[in-house]
Amino acid sequence: MPYTGTINKYAKYLSVAENTPVISIQEGQTPLVPAPHIASACGVDGLKVYFKIEGLNPTGSFKDRGMTMAVSKAVEKGATRIICASTGNTSASAAAFAARARGLGYDMDCYVIIPAGYVALGKLSQAMIYGAKVIQIEGNFDAALNIVKELCDQYPIELVNSLNPYRIEGQKTSAYEICDELGDAPDYLCIPVGNAGNITAYWAGFSDYQGASKKPKMYGFQAAGAAPIVDGAPVEKPETVGTAIRIGNPASWKQAEAARDQSGGLIDKVTDDEMLAAYRMIHQDEGYACEPASAASVAGLIKSAQAGKIEPGSTVVCVLTGNGLKDPKVAMEQSDMASAEKVYQADSFEIAQALGLKAAPVQQ
Ligand code: F0G
C-alpha cells in the first residue's frame, strides 16, 4: 500500500471519523538516523543517539504533522479561513495545507501574522509562494499570537496555532513512528522548546502509544535568551539566533511542565554559542542538516550528558525539528565565508594553490 500520510497511518490514535476529509501532503515517515559522533561527544558509556529528522517533512518541519489534523478538522467543520501567528514554520505549513485543500476543491484562505525581520528567508518565501496572505508586524511572536487570538474571537476564522488541540494531536505521530521503529520508546527525548506545543505532543504520544515497555524522560531545551519556563517568568524581549524558538510566553507552558514532571525529565536552557556549536557538529560531523533552533536538542543533550544527567547505556532521540535550508543566512555565517567570497580565475594552477594541493611524488 502506498503511504498516504499520518492521519491514515495512525487514525486509531486520532480524532478522525470515516467522513473526515483528509488533507494531507504525505507528511511524516521521517528518517530516524544514528548520530555516532554526537554519541561519543557526550562521553557517556554505551550511549545510542538518534536524530529524528523532522526537517524532511514536506514543508521542512514537524509542523506538517499537526497541520494535517488542524486543516482536515477545519475543512470538516466547514471553515474557509485559517490563521496563525508564526516564527516561520507554522506559517509555511499552514499555507501549504491551505493550498492542498484548495486543490481538492475546498474554499480555504490562509492568513499568517509574523514578526517583521525575524523570520528566516526560506520560511517567509514558503508562506508566500504557497499563496498565504502574509502580514508582518512590529512586535514579536507573542504579540502576533495575541492578535491572532483576538481576531479569532471576533471573526469567523479558524486558529491553527498549537492552541488548536488538533495541532497537538497530530504532532503525536512522531512519537509513534519513533516507537514503531525502535521497537520501544527511547530512554530520553531531547527537543527544542518554543511555544511548547511539540514537547506536549510528544509526551501525549508516548503516553498513549500501545506496545512500548516504558516512556522516555522528556528533556526540553529553550534558548538562554528566550527561556521563560526555565527562568520562571515570561520574557518580554526574547532574543536568540534560533528565531524559531524566539518566544517569551509559551502557550503550552503548563503542559510542558507537566510533561517534564510526569516523565521525570527536565527543561533547561542552552546559550546561542552552545546551539551553534551543536549546529556545526550536526552538519560537519554527522552530515545531517537542521535549522539553528533545532540544534538546541543536541546542545541540550551534550550539556545534560556533561552534567551527569544521561545514564550509561541508554537510547536518546534528538528531534531535529526544521530543515537546514530554511535559514541559509546562519549557515553561511557559521561557515568559512572568506573562502566562499573570493572568486578565482578559471585556472587550474591558481586553484590548486588556493586548495593547497601538492603534486604526488612521481611513481618510478
Ligand atoms: N523547532 C522549530 C524548527 C520550530 O519552528 C519551532 C516552533 C520549535 C522548534 C518549537 O516548537 O513551539 O512546539 O515548542 N515554531 C513555531 C512556528 C513557533 O511559528 O513555526 P514548539
**CB of 195 shorter than 6 A to ligand 1:** yes
Q: Return mean pLDDT, the chain.
A: 97
What is the whole-number distance in angstroms between the Cα of residue 260 and the centre of ligand 1? 18
What pLDDT does residue 328 have? Answer: 94
What pLDDT does residue 352 have? Answer: 95
For the chain, what percent of residues have pLDDT higher than 90? 96
Residue of 100 and 363 predicted with greater confidence: 100
The H-assigned helical ranges of 138-293 are 141-154, 165-171, 173-182, 197-208, 228-231, 253-263, 272-284
Q: Indicate the burial class of 302 (C-beta count within 10 angstroms; 0-12, 13-18, 19 or more).
A: buried
Please give the average per-residue pLDDT across 3-18, as a whole number: 97
What is the whole-number distance in angstroms between the Cα of residue 343 and the centre of ligand 1? 37
Please give the average per-residue pLDDT across 205-213, as a whole number: 97
Quote the CA–CA distance of 109 and 22 in Å, as a whole number: 17
Quote the CA–CA distance of 223 and 239 in Å, as a whole number: 8
Quote the CA–CA distance of 174 and 66 in Å, as a whole number: 10
**CB of 168 shorter than 6 A to ligand 1:** no
What pLDDT does residue 265 have? Answer: 98
Indicate the pLDDT class of residue 185, thresholds 50, 70 and 90. very high
Mutation choice for ligand 1 from 87, 254, 290, 298, CB with most ligand atoms inside 8 A: 87
What pLDDT does residue 237 have? Answer: 97
What pLDDT does residue 340 have? Answer: 77
Inform me whether the pLDDT recorded for 336 exceeds 90: no
What is the whole-number distance in angstroms between the Cα of residue 195 and the centre of ligand 1? 6
Mutation choice for ligand 1 from 282, 321, 325, CB with most ligand atoms inside 8 A: 321
Atom of ligand 1 nearest to the CA of 191: 9
**CB of 294 shorter than 6 A to ligand 1:** yes
Q: Tens digits of per-residue pLDDT, 245-263?
A: 999 999 999 999 999 999 9
Atom of ligand 1 nearest to the CA of 54: 3
What is the whole-number distance in angstroms between the Cα of residue 43 and the centre of ligand 1? 29
Q: Taking phi first (over 0 means left), then psi (-120 to 50 degrees means alpha), and beta for anything else, what does residue 74 get? A: alpha
Atom of ligand 1 nearest to the CA of 171: 13
Contact 130, 258 (CB under 8 A): no
Inform me whether the pLDDT recorded for 167 exceeds 80: yes
**CB of 59 shorter than 6 A to ligand 1:** no
Indicate the pLDDT class of residue 341, thresholds 50, 70 and 90. confident
Q: Tens digits of per-residue pLDDT, 28-73?
A: 999 999 999 999 999 999 999 999 999 999 999 999 999 999 999 9
**CB of 161 shorter than 6 A to ligand 1:** no
Contact 81, 157 (CB under 8 A): yes
Question: Which phi and psi (to 5°) does residue 356 adopt?
Answer: 70, 30
Inform me whether the pLDDT recorded for 140 exceeds 90: yes
Residues in the chain: 364
Inform me whether the pLDDT recorded for 357 exceeds 90: yes
Please give the average per-residue pLDDT across 191-220, as a whole number: 98
Please give the average per-residue pLDDT across 292-299, as a whole number: 98
What is the whole-number distance in angstroms between the Cα of residue 346 and the centre of ligand 1? 44
What pLDDT does residue 342 have? Answer: 87
Q: Tens digits of per-residue pLDDT, 309-333?
A: 999 999 999 999 999 999 999 999 9
